[in-house]
Amino acid sequence: MKKIAYIRVSTNEQRPDRQIDGLRDICDELHIETLSAVSKQRPVFDAALRRLQPGDLFVVWDLDRAFRSVVDALTEAEKLRQRGIGFQIANLNIDTTTPAGMFVYTIVSALAEFERRTLSQRTKEGLEAARRRGKRLGRPPKIKPEQLARARRKLKKGATTASLAAELGVAPWSLKRALYRPDIADTINTE
């Protein structure tokens, strides 16, 4: 019997160290993926599942590291069971090879999805509240309004978008997008 672990972080800035530390000593293989949970394709996840043979155990540190929703979690656990493969959530010591483990797994899956959806809803509400208060969200613009005004004047005199973009140190599409952004265009047109 092999224990094959799946480890996932959503971004390159996140570190899988906590999961690796928790699974290294109890698993035979660690498969690490950097990818959002909602991605349609999860090549490392799929490869880890293909490595499993009847009698093996698929192990994750946290439930939300492997599955997108309750339905996904329960469906995958059932597919594994039909293949004769167990499933374990290490930090909760849940093993779906037992009836009690499967019951707890079902409840934990529902709670994990509730938590994920609640967090998503709160984030959206917070962003909307910030927008209503006039906060600008996202990355700051690469091109300042005064630079854009200068670029617009130079364009009227015959300069090319490509040459102006190079002068500003941005890609031509960044300059084009900035030129047509309503908040900037309104500011520039009043000058």
Q: Looking at residue 91, what is its pLDDT?
A: 87
Tell which residue, 191, 90, 98, 114, has the closest CA to residue 148.
191
Residue 141 near residue 170, CB atoms below 8 Å: no
Confidence category of residue 189, pLDDT binned at 50, 70, 90: very low
Q: Model's pTM, two decimal places?
A: 0.59
Residue bearing tokens 């002068």: 167
Which tens digits make up the pLDDT trace of 42-89? 999 999 999 999 999 999 998 778 877 778 888 888 899 999 999 888
Which tens digits make up the pLDDT trace of 14-44? 999 999 999 999 999 999 999 987 788 999 9
SS3 (DSSP) at 14: coil
Active site residue: 10, 36, 39, 174, which one?
A: 10
Confidence category of residue 182, pLDDT binned at 50, 70, 90: low
**111-to-12, 76, 114, 137 alpha-carbon distances in Å:** 27, 17, 5, 30
Which tens digits make up the pLDDT trace of 109-161? 888 888 888 999 999 999 999 999 998 888 888 888 899 999 999 999 999 99
Residue 86 near residue 95, CB atoms below 8 Å: yes
CA distance linking residue 56 with residue 84, whole number of Å: 8
174 a catalytic residue: no
- Reported in sequence order, the residue ranges of the chain that DSSP labels E, i.e. its strands, are 3-9, 29-34, 57-60, 86-89, 94-95
Q: How far apart are the first and last CA of the chain?
A: 73
Tell which residue, 148, 136, 159, 154, has the closest CA to residue 189.
148
pLDDT at 184 over 60: no
Q: Looking at residue 25, what is its pLDDT?
A: 94
